[in-house]
Amino acid sequence: MTRDEIFMQEALSLARQGLDEGEVPVGAVVVLGDRIIGRGFNRRESGKNALCHAELSAIDEACRNLGGWRLINCELFVTLEPCPMCAGAAINSRIKRVVYGTQDSKAGSCGSVTDLFALPYNHKPQTLSGVLEEECSGILREFFAQLRAKARERSDSCGVIICAEGTLWDESGELLTPDTKDELNELRENHKLLLVSDKSREEMAALLDRHALTDCFEGYASTSSSGMTKAECIRTIAKRYKHDRYYCIGSKDADRKASETSGVPFFRRRQAAGPNSAVAEKQAQS
C-alpha cells in the first residue's frame, strides 16, 4: 500500500464514522510529513451547520495543532472531491497538496464542475485524484442506497390526508393560523397531503406557490372545472394514489359528508387550531 493510500484509508475510516451517524460519509485528514495533524468528517446534519464539512473540520484542527493559519507543506486527504468552499479553504490555508478519492459531479471544484486551483489565485495546491476511488465511491453508494430504502419504507407506511378547501387558508388566501405551516411540515413526516378544491388548477398553483407548499400539496380541481363532486374527487384521488390509509380533513359538514360518502375516515379541523388538532379529533365513521 502506498503512502497516499495509507492516509486515504484514515480518511475512509472517518467517513465510516459519519455513515454510522447518518451523515453523508465524507472523511478528511491533514498530514504534515508522516503525521496526521487534523481529522474531520461531515457533520452538517448533527451540527446543523453548512460549514461542518470534513475538510474544514480537519483544517481547523490542524491550524489549532500548529498554532497558526498557514498549513505550508501540509497535505489534505479527502474521500470526495472538495466543494468550492473547501477548495477555497485549501487555497487560503496554503495547503501544499490535495488528494481526493472520488469525483463529485455536482459540486466538485478541483476539476469536475470547475477547477478553482487553476484560477490565478495567490496559491495553487497540487492535486491528485482517484486514490482508493472504488472504496471512496462505494461508501457513498452505500449511504444513498440506505437513504432510498428508508424513503421506500416511509412511503409504504404513510397515509394520505386529503385536505378540503378552507382547511388551510381562508378565501383571501391567508393561512388560517400563524403556525399552520409548521404543523403541515410535521404532518408531512408521515402523510402525503393533497388538496381538494373548486378552484382551477391555475388558481391553486398560485396559492400553493404563494405559501411555498408546492412540494407537499397537489391542487385537484373539482366541481367548477371537472364536473365532479367533492366526494367523487376524494374517491378518484384514493384510487389514483393506491395507498392503504386515507383520511380527509375539513371544517365543514359538507366536507364530512363528502368524506363519508367516499368511505374515507374524516377529521374535523377546529377553526382556531391547525391541522394537527384536526387529526386529534377524529370522527368515528358511521
pLDDT in tens, 59-76: 999 999 999 999 999 999
pLDDT tens for residues 222-269?
A: 444 556 666 676 667 666 655 555 666 665 676 677 667 766 666 555
Mean pLDDT over residues 97-113, rounded? Answer: 96
- CB contact at 8 A, 193 and 216: yes
Single-letter code of the amino acid located at 129: S
In this prediction, residue 105 carries a pLDDT of 93
Q: What are phi and psi of 26, to 5 degrees?
A: -130, 130
Q: Is 142 a catalytic residue?
A: no
Cα 26 from Cα 86, distance rounded (Å): 12
pLDDT above 90 for 83: yes
Can you say whether the dihedral through the CA atoms of 183, 185, 186, 191 is positive or negative?
A: positive
| Average pLDDT over all residues of the chain | 77
Average pLDDT on 103-124 reads 96
Give me the pLDDT at residue 223, please: 42
Mean local confidence (pLDDT), 207-219: 54
Which three cell numbers mark 266? 374524516
Question: Which alpha helices (DSSP H) does 106-213 contain, by range?
Answer: 133-157, 180-188, 201-210
Annotated catalytic residue within 55, 75, 81, 165: 55
H or E element: which one contains 38?
strand 35-41
